[in-house]
Structure formats: structure tokens, C-alpha cells
Structure 1
Amino acid sequence: MSSPEIASLSWRHMKVKGCSSSYKDCKVWLGGSRAWDWRETETDHHPGVQPADLEEVLQKGVEKRVIRQGMSEALQVCPSSTVDFTVKAVAEYNNLVGQGAKVGGVFHSTC
């Protein structure tokens, strides 16, 4: 099983290959994706991505994680969350997918 590529990204819109839905924010993992609803973990721009935001992705067996902080990198990353790849996150994610890595991530598509 492989991680799906992110087909496109623009303001408030992300498309994941193999998924008929589009997302504003999403979680991706080996063989799947879903909308990332910040209300589930009380995430906000500050203090940012919480460890709980990544828990579901980690439970799917990923070995590497990518966090996208938004178009202006306004979404902060709580230091205890993970090591993050914030610059060019989609390109990094797709590069890892292309290498066959068990990769997952959380992606913010606005600010």
C-alpha cells in the first residue's frame, strides 16, 4: 500500500489523487485521506499543530510525517508535535511518496 500523491493545492483547496473529494485542510496516510477538522483537537494558528493532530496519521503505519503550515506559514507547530518539513511541504511529501516511503501528513491550505 502506498501514500496518495497530492494532485493540486491552491487557496482553500487541495486535491488528493484517488479521492473524489477536495479539502480545505486534510490528513493523508498510506492508502487514504480525510478532511482535517481542527475542532477535533482544538487546534488553532497559535499554539498550532498538536500531537493529537498527528495521532491518527501515525496509527496508519507511516514512518515519516510532513506538516504544511499554510500559504504564509501562519499555522504554528507545537514543539512537541514532530520534526516538520514546512518549506515546500507538498513537494517534499510527493517526493517521499515517489520514493515509496510510508509517509503521511497534515496540510493546511489557507493562511
Structure 2
Amino acid sequence: MTGIHAIHGPAQSTRSPRMARLEWGLMEIEGLAPGKDFAPGKDFVLYPGGGHPWDRARHGTRHIPGIQPGDVQELLGRGVEVVVLGLGMERRLQVAPPARELLRESGAEVHMDEARAAVEVYHALTAEDRPVGGLFHSTC
């Protein structure tokens, strides 16, 4: 994990940060690094007003069985109504059945796709000024 932990945008911000760059193993997120234009990292959790690098090991997230309920719960706990899951450049990151069930029960609108396609959807939704959050994985 990088030296960037929980970094939030301005308190009054309700927009989710934009991803400025995505390539294999690298994402740059606008406005998350203090004093810098972009915060670089490999995987990110983004939500209205901020985001941070995604420590997938925290909840036991691996490619299989996939994204865990704890990862999803962080987004829902931040008031996200639309969830975008970037499943990696080769779509190898799965979504564990308990996480799928949590998303279904929450009533959140959910989008899941390959990393680049997920970022396109995320940007389109944030442009509508909706409470959007996402989990993004930049490798396989």
C-alpha cells in the first residue's frame, strides 16, 4: 500500500473524484494527494468527496472468491447509491456471492465491468452529479 491512507476532498464536496489515468497496475486519481494534482496507486476505493487506495487484503479480497461484503459496505456506509465495480483489465476479479447479496439488499444501482469500461461508466454517472462510488482494480 502506498503512503496515502484515507484522503478526502474538501468537506463540502459531494462529487466523486475522477480518474485521470488508468493503465495496467497504475491509476491516477484527481485531487486525492494533498498538494498534488493526482494520487497514483494500483487499486482505489472512490466515493463522494474522496477516496483512498484499496487494501484488498483488509477484507480478504482475492481474484477468487472476489470482492467481499466489507469492501462494498464501506461504499454503502458513505451514502453511495450507485456502485461501480472495476473487475480488472482482464475481468479476473470476481464478486463474492455475499457481496452480491449485500448489494441486492441495499437497493443500490450496480455496474460491473472490465476496468476501462467501468471507469467510463463511473465518469458518466458522476457527471450526472449522483452519489456514485466504486472499487477499481487495475491489473488482471
- TM-score category (smaller protein): over 0.9
Q: What displacement does 1:2 show? A: 1.0
> Is 1:79 paired with 2:79?
no
Given that residues 32 and 52 in structure 2 are in contact (C-alpha distance below 8 angstroms), is that contact kept between their aligned partners in structure 1?
Answer: no
Answer 1 or 2: higher relative contact order, Cα 8 Å, separation at least 6: 1
1:42-57 maps to which residues of 2 (within 5 A)? 42-57=60-75
Q: Distance between the aligned counterparts of 1:18 and 1:84, measured in 2? A: 24
Q: Distance between the aligned counterparts of 2:41 and 2:75, measured in 1? A: 16
- Larger CA Rg, structure 1 vs 2: 2
Q: CA RMSD for the aligned pairs?
A: 1.2
Q: Distance between the aligned counterparts of 1:32 and 1:58, measured in 2? A: 14
Task: Give 1:96's aligned residue.
Answer: 125
Q: What displacement does 1:48 show? A: 0.3
Task: Give 1:107's aligned residue.
Answer: 136
1:58-77 maps to which residues of 2 (within 5 A)? 58-77=76-95
Q: Which of 33, 39, 45 is 1:27 aligned to?
A: 45
Q: Distance between the aligned counterparts of 1:105 and 1:24, measured in 2? A: 14
**Count of aligned residue pairs for this structure pair:** 111
Q: What displacement does 1:79 show? A: 2.9
Task: Give 2:7's aligned residue.
Answer: none
Deviates more, 1:16-25 or 1:26-35: 16-25
Given that residues 85 and 92 in structure 1 are in contact (C-alpha distance below 8 angstroms), is that contact kept between their aligned partners in structure 2?
Answer: no
TM-score by length of 2: 0.75
Q: Which runs of 5+ in 2 are unaligned?
A: 1-13, 34-38, 104-109
Q: What displacement does 1:57 show? A: 1.4
Given that residues 46 and 135 in structure 2 are in contact (C-alpha distance below 8 angstroms), is that contact kept between their aligned partners in structure 1?
Answer: yes
Q: What displacement does 1:84 show? A: 3.5
